[in-house]
Structure 1
Amino acid sequence: MARKASSSLNPPLFNNGSGSEFIQSGRNLAIVPSPRDSSLAIFPINNANPTLLKPNYPKVAPIYFASEYNPPSGERRTFLTDTSIIWAALQNLLKTSEKKDFDIQNTDAILSGIRKLAIDYINFCKECWVYASQAITRSDPLQFNGDHYRKLYTCFSLFTVLYLPDTGFDNAPVGEELMDWLNTHYIEPATEEGDHLSSLERPWEDEIYWSYLTRTTLRGLSKASSFFLETLTRHPSHHLPRLSQQLIPLLTNHPRLQQFHTERDFAIASRRWRDKVKVLRIELDRVPEDVRDDGFDNWWDRFSDLVGILEGREEVVKRLCKELGADWKEVAVAWGVFIDPRLRRQDLPEVVLQVLDDIPADLTDLENCIISSLFLGKPVQALAVAAKLDIWLAAHLADLVEAIELIDRDPDDSGVSIRQRYVIAYAEYLHSDPGLWRLTVNYLYSCGDMGTRMADEILMRVPLRIQSIANEGERTQIRNGQLAGIIKEISATCFENNREEIRRAILRIAAQTFLKERDYGLAVSYCTSAEDWQGIGRVVDCVLDEYTRRGPEKFSHQVANIAPSLHALRAESAPALNGVYIYRLIFAVRLAEYHQRKSKGELQDAAVDVIAIFKDEIAPKSWWAVVLYDSIELLQTNEHMLFTSAEAGMLLHKLEEIFTLTSYGLGSDYLPVFMKVLKNSDEKYALQRLQIVRLALAKYFARCGVIGAGGKYGSGLRR
């Protein structure tokens, strides 16, 4: 294992052939997958027994990083993101058809929509091919050259021609469409050849003249063929100019399916056209043998080949294609135009098999293998080869192939279907770039249970970049319930794919991060969004710890940002089962507001807060002593009587409960927090400090009695 892994490391960890020596030194290689992308970290580790280590290898060694894929960049990244929009539209179309229980194969509107999206794919491939083929200076080198995108363009176009025809043409002759495809993607003859011949006074004397004319005829390029046949009017032969003039209208008037309203009319026109070709053959055969050569070439043989093509003679078409260096594709396409003009898609595989017997396909050329598989009606085989050429092609073809029901939707023994296998592989390629996590998970979520589990794991590991939220405006928006940045996008992704549990888990992670940073307002906000009530409880514990560790002032500052979240919680009417956590949060906020008012000299409002804390029963018993001790200043003020006698009595009742139950051994319920505030763990000392509260209350009652605070209603005076 070490020997194999080390061969790809740069710089090498050890010399070639030294793997055994490396292992004998007491070391081996460890491989750890990255949690963020599809890369691996490879590094040397020590064996368990340190006595086996030998000093001839350094103790500190580098960490090597390896990946199955090169992360997409430049034009490739743009290509992937742009085509993902088409993919998303296709998924929406298929989901709509499933909801409405449409039979895709028998629903023209759905098939037309699928065809349109397939053409969109083709156009994007074409644009990227054109861009990558431009001879311009680029700041960044292309990750894939123009020829690679040409192959994608060619293969996707052929798939659309064969498997996604226009509405109503699925059972129509296919020859003309294939000829258009061939002429678009494999341009022959070369334009330069035509330019060269057109510049000559006697072009038929050039060695490429007849091969050029033969190629244009085979390709159905009637204009080019007619142009060069017209030059034969100057030929010295007495027969060739006349024959060429007869051939020109046959080429230009060759019946095309698109010219007719019905296939019957097309068949009748084709039969009549063939009769005219037979007449030309008779005329050609009458030419004496001794005038069939012009001194440069046997023009009769060459002209006879042209007529043989129009006659649809199989042996002539095959021979000419071999002589011209054309491959099986040209023969198969010419077959559907000249040999059997009514050739249909379902009959094409049989013809192609026959052609491949005479002119085999180049099995070392992936493009050729994909095209031959599509011609033979073997989409599964085409997908397998497409995955070797470009996993993008395999994934997006598989989507379409399954949509039109050419492959099985059911999972195999591995738990995934054919389509899912290629889409998952494509998603793994996307995962090589962590920045493409949105695309990665969207593709995975379309792949059943396995894809869903993989997408969940990726989402859980997307860097939240919470530390970058430094703008106070953004923080305020978050506290008001608006998620920001990456978290907002993750939440949207989870919502679109019904992954509520994952969304909440990620929000809990975000809340914990804010909690570590002591940004309690945002921590509460994210806990609220995640409906993590226990998390809110943990935040409140941390907030209240701020009081015991750093005092009321720091505590009040930290809690200031929690209030908006509390208002949102109350507005949402959180479930009663989680009320205990919300009440603790209310207490923390009310306690902070109390200290803020007291620090500002708003003593009357501060007194109202103290009474509300006890009256509304939101204060935990462990905090009673702290609140009572903090109210001494309010009881001792000489300017106003801030409490009614009834309110002061309630404070005294709470105080007496502390003393009484502590004497029965329940001090651990009432005094722990107060002792933390006092920085003293002695209960006796805590009770002594609370005696000050008792004394302040006694004096307060005395003052109430002196001024007749009981009043008419016995409730005291409050100014």
Structure 2
Amino acid sequence: MEEVDVEPAITNIPAASDGKHLGFAWGPGDILTYETLYPYASSGVRGSGSLYIHEVRKDEDIYSPILRKLFNESHHIFVGLQIIREDLPSKNKKPQFVSISKNYRSVIRACMEELQQAAVSTKVADVATQYGNQVSILLAIELIWNLCEVLFIDAAPAGSLLLHLLDWVRLHKADVDEKAREVLQSESPAEHRDYWDVVVSYVLQGRLEEARQMLVKQATLHPAARNMFKLMDTLLSKMPFYNPGGTQTLTEFDVKWRHWHEEVDRCLQDNSFASNPHLELICKILVGDEDTLLEHKGLLSTWYHFLVTRLLFCHPTVKPTELHFYAQSCMTMFLDMSPEPLDSILLAAFEFDIHQVIKDCSIALNNWWFVAHLTDLLDHCKLLQSHNLHFGSNLREFLLLEYASGLFTHHSLWQLAVDYFDHCPEFGRVYLELQIERVPLETERKALKVLRICEQRQMSEQVRSICKIMAMRALRNNRLGSALSWSIRAKDAAFATLISEKFLQDYCAKGTFSDLDLIDNLGPSMLLSDRLTFLGKYREFHKLYGEKHFSEAAKLLLSLMTAKIAPRSFWMTLLTDALPLLEQKEVIFSADQTYELMFCLEELTSSLNTAAVDADRPMQVRRPITKSP
């Protein structure tokens, strides 16, 4: 057995006293624990037991109304991804995969914003803390997903790679925009205490146009230093950025960038900004001085921001294969303590170790949503083909099965899980068959939903099981029509026979049939059992009699006895029903039919006389058919 990568988290169960013996029961996604009367391990004294049963949930997120939207929306994206044609060339599918990845991220962003609003509006401290924790998790998820999109799905080459990484950092380091708004809305922006922090932050993110606009305000306040500000503006405006759609090659861009870099370095060596420490600081950043960058950890805040800034001003043509070297060195230089799980995940991504990213995320995150959907997308991009698990299923299917199994524990999200199982070709159907049987059938509406799912997938065993459960429930509630309908749907001949007997007993007691619409429209279903056939034909006899088709009614009544379709216990009732036909003014029964009728009466009388046990006493109709005028 393989060793676990990390020690399992300890769950404290409230009200469970130290030393008490706990019993537990496993559920599909939860565990129920309870104190028992088992003696103390040390003293041998019996425990008193507790009145409480504690529910330990494996995944709390599926019970969050806001996060439920994440599951619902991502389900639609997942289903859309599965129908992308396999025969399309990879080049044609790449834009679709990138678009799908962005759709996933937009759903994450929408949920994050809603959680932030909910955290602000709630007045309950614990709830606000819970929402805040969920926002932090979603922020980390979106950060990792975005990086995986850049490195694996879009697979940006040298030149374009840095542009994507800049967008990645800017998206996840948005506090500078809030600070900039605060500065610009003040009476004197250039004298605001955060003015230079905003300018430097813009430069660190490569947002040089915004930095130039901010510097104009400072230059206006210091006319004597106008030339110095103008020189800085020139350096910022001349910094080249690679244009993937342009005519310039990567080599030509590299030459142009080096010329610009040398010009900035000359200005620094010439002490062109020595009289203004803020501008000199910006100049040092532009030449990529590592010590200067590390002195501003507060503005960078993370090692991966430091990495992208360092690449921007030192290695703008970095290749994907070189990223891991710079990432490792930047993390080592920036962090003063051991890396957090998020740091390790991002480093694994920069090292292009997809499987390590998925593994670390599976350990660090509290549910399977992220790893299941990301792995599915990467698998469609043909990036996981070489990785199969030793117990059969591949990595994609394993994670999807785990995620879908968790959804099945929820009262409404279980319907989403069905589609995930459908797209797991190896074990999906087996999992679905096992999980669908655990769905509680509280109402007929829900039972019909489950039944439709099973029928669409030809899951005959589950169809029969559901129908039997619903038929038995209806029978217990004395709803014979519903019980018969479910038993017919289950094709359960024995149960249909039992319910048909109940209908006949009910008829004998009341003199009328209940649920006439159902019995009148049995159609071929009445052939499921002899007793059901008799019930349908006997009701047909009543209809013929009521419509005064006496000859057809007499013929049908006689055939029910001579063909042995009618139960022997019901023959006396049928013979009683024949009396009004015999009393009609016109002759209804022919001589042969009358003879057969008498033979049936004689056979019934003989069997009653010879019966040892009176267990098959004929049922009598309380109100026989009245004679037609």
**Offset at residue 177 of structure 1 (A):** 0.9
Larger mean Cα displacement after TM superposition, 597-606 or 75-84:
597-606
Q: Give the alignment partner of residue 252 of structure 1, picking from 234, 237, 254.
A: 237
User: For residues 498 and 183 of structure 1, what CA distance do their matches in structure 2 show?
Assistant: 51
Map 1:353-432 to 2 at 5 A. 353-360=328-335, 365-387=340-362, 388-391=364-367, 392-408=369-385, 411-432=388-409
For the structure 1 residues 656 and 116, does the alpha-carbon distance in structure 2 shift closer, same or farther, using more than 3 Å as the test?
A: same
Partner SS, residue 36 of structure 2: strand
Q: Give the alignment partner of residue 540 of structure 1, picking from 497, 504, 525.
A: 497
**Offset at residue 329 of structure 1 (A):** 0.8
Partner SS, residue 318 of structure 2: coil
Q: Deviations over 1:233-261 (max 9, x none)?
A: 468797x6434323323423433333642
- The amino acid across from 1:86 in the alignment is I
Map 1:220-299 to 2 at 5 A. 220-231=206-217, 233=219, 241-258=226-243, 260-262=245-247, 264=249, 267-287=251-271, 293-294=274-275, 298=277
Alignment of 1:33 onto 2:26: yes
Please say if residues 607 and 634 of structure 1, whose CA atoms lie closer than 8 Å, have aligned partners that are also in contact. Answer: no
User: For residues 123 and 197 of structure 2, what CA distance do their matches in structure 1 show?
Assistant: 43
Alignment of 1:177 onto 2:168: no
Q: Give the alignment partner of residue 78 of structure 1, picking from 69, 73, 79.
A: 69
- The amino acid across from 1:454 in the alignment is Y
Q: Alignment length, in residue pairs?
A: 603
**Offset at residue 634 of structure 1 (A):** 3.2
For the structure 1 residues 278 and 628, does the alpha-carbon distance in structure 2 shift closer, same or farther, using more than 3 Å as the test?
A: closer
Q: What is the identity percentage for the equivalent residue pairs of Structure 1 and Structure 2?
A: 16
User: For residues 565 and 510 of structure 2, what CA distance do their matches in structure 1 show?
Assistant: 20
**Offset at residue 174 of structure 1 (A):** 0.3
Structure 2 alignment gaps of length 5 or more: 1-9, 622-628
Alignment of 1:455 onto 2:440: no
Please say if residues 166 and 205 of structure 2, whose CA atoms lie closer than 8 Å, have aligned partners that are also in contact. Answer: yes
Q: Give the alignment partner of residue 509 of structure 1, picking from 469, 487, 496.
A: 469
User: For residues 198 and 597 of structure 1, what CA distance do their matches in structure 2 show?
Assistant: 90
**Offset at residue 122 of structure 1 (A):** 0.7
Please say if residues 459 and 490 of structure 1, whose CA atoms lie closer than 8 Å, have aligned partners that are also in contact. Answer: yes
Larger mean Cα displacement after TM superposition, 121-130 or 590-599:
590-599
2:59 aligned partner: 69
* TM-score, length basis structure 2: 0.81
Please say if residues 583 and 618 of structure 1, whose CA atoms lie closer than 8 Å, have aligned partners that are also in contact. Answer: no
Q: Deviations over 1:169-204 (max 9, x none)?
A: 556630011101101111364643675489687959
1:586 aligned partner: 533
User: For residues 564 and 531 of structure 2, what CA distance do their matches in structure 1 show?
Assistant: 7
**Offset at residue 283 of structure 1 (A):** 4.7
Q: What is the aligned-residue RMSD (CA, Å)?
A: 4.2
* TM-score, length basis structure 1: 0.72
Alignment of 1:338 onto 2:313: yes
For the structure 1 residues 326 and 149, does the alpha-carbon distance in structure 2 shift closer, same or farther, using more than 3 Å as the test?
A: closer
Structure 1 alignment gaps of length 5 or more: 1-5, 20-27, 470-484, 571-578, 680-718
User: For residues 533 and 24 of structure 2, what CA distance do their matches in structure 1 show?
Assistant: 50
User: For residues 534 and 184 of structure 2, what CA distance do their matches in structure 1 show?
Assistant: 95
User: For residues 357 and 87 of structure 1, what CA distance do their matches in structure 2 show?
Assistant: 38
- The amino acid across from 2:619 in the alignment is V
User: For residues 207 and 508 of structure 1, what CA distance do their matches in structure 2 show?
Assistant: 75
1:305 aligned partner: 284
**Offset at residue 53 of structure 1 (A):** 10
Q: Deviations over 1:324-378 (max 9, x none)?
A: 5543212321244332222233432233223234334965534333322222212
Alignment of 1:121 onto 2:81: no
User: For residues 418 and 107 of structure 2, what CA distance do their matches in structure 1 show?
Assistant: 22
Larger mean Cα displacement after TM superposition, 185-194 or 333-342:
185-194
Please say if residues 133 and 147 of structure 1, whose CA atoms lie closer than 8 Å, have aligned partners that are also in contact. Answer: no
User: For residues 508 and 80 of structure 1, what CA distance do their matches in structure 2 show?
Assistant: 32
**Offset at residue 417 of structure 1 (A):** 2.8
For the structure 1 residues 353 and 529, does the alpha-carbon distance in structure 2 shift closer, same or farther, using more than 3 Å as the test?
A: same
For the structure 1 residues 280 and 370, does the alpha-carbon distance in structure 2 shift closer, same or farther, using more than 3 Å as the test?
A: closer
2:325 aligned partner: 350
**Offset at residue 126 of structure 1 (A):** 1.0
- The amino acid across from 1:645 in the alignment is A
